[in-house]
Amino acid sequence: MNKINKIALIVITLSFIGLKSFSQDGETIVVNDFETWTKAGLKLKLDKKWSFGLEQQLRLDSNSTEVEAYFTEFNAQYKTEMGLVFGGGFRFIRENDNEGKRQGYENHIRFNFDLGYKHSIKRLKLRYRVRFQTKNELGKSKDEGDYANNHLRLKLGGEYNIKKWKFDPKISVELFHHMEEGEENGLDKFRATIGTSYDLKKYGDLGLFYRLERELNPTYINYPKISYIVGLSYIYTIKLN
């Protein structure tokens, strides 16, 4: 079995695990949703090691009929010659809260810190990433119930270069570990993604993906949510060197 088949097998196996529903008390009802994520961004590459990005994203849920959130993100990345990748990002989020007594758009900020490693095996590129992220709502204190929403994320990804083909497949799987004061902590989300991108040369890159996202430890364990997500992105890159 070659490397690309092994990665595909991992994605299929973990997707099956993610879709398997269970409940400690009574019947489990799976909540399904179809979401649409779009992204447009600008990337600045100073050299082979340093790069910076600015992105604007929009996410729709409720079968892509309502705005879940939109946000602006700034990120930076440093690559070493040994394949290690250090990164970080800041995100200002406008999140649509349509549940409970207090509804409307809320302002949130999120920081993330990344450590990654990438290498190639012939035509297969493999990437590993550990991310710590912390998120807070602006204008709300701890006395009002706003504690830092922290996650540790583990991601494995692969891309296979096909001869004479411009749409190389990309596959990834990711686990989220939730850490927040006053909440039930542990693994709370699983994500599996398959996609591709097209190089428009001097006009940027277009990306397309399909993603499955599954709650593993939701607040109401009898109502886990599974999201089927289609994403589209456009990134324009400026190379200074």
* Confidence at 12, pLDDT banded by 50, 70, 90: very low
CB 96 within 8 A of CB 71: no
Token pair for 156: 């494995």
Token pair for 194: 């398959």
pLDDT cut 90: percent of the chain above it? 66
**Which residue is listed with tokens 């922290």?**
150
Q: Is the pLDDT of residue 22 over 50?
A: no
Domains and CATH numbers, the chain: 3-239 (2.40.160)
CA distances from 205 to 56, 214, 237 (A): 15, 28, 8
pLDDT tens-digit series, residues 173-216: 999 999 877 677 889 899 999 999 999 988 999 999 999 999 88
Q: What is the pLDDT of residue 218?
A: 57
Q: Is the pLDDT of residue 219 over 70?
A: no
Write down the pTM of the prediction.
0.84
pLDDT tens-digit series, residues 117-159: 999 999 999 999 999 999 999 987 666 666 788 999 999 999 9
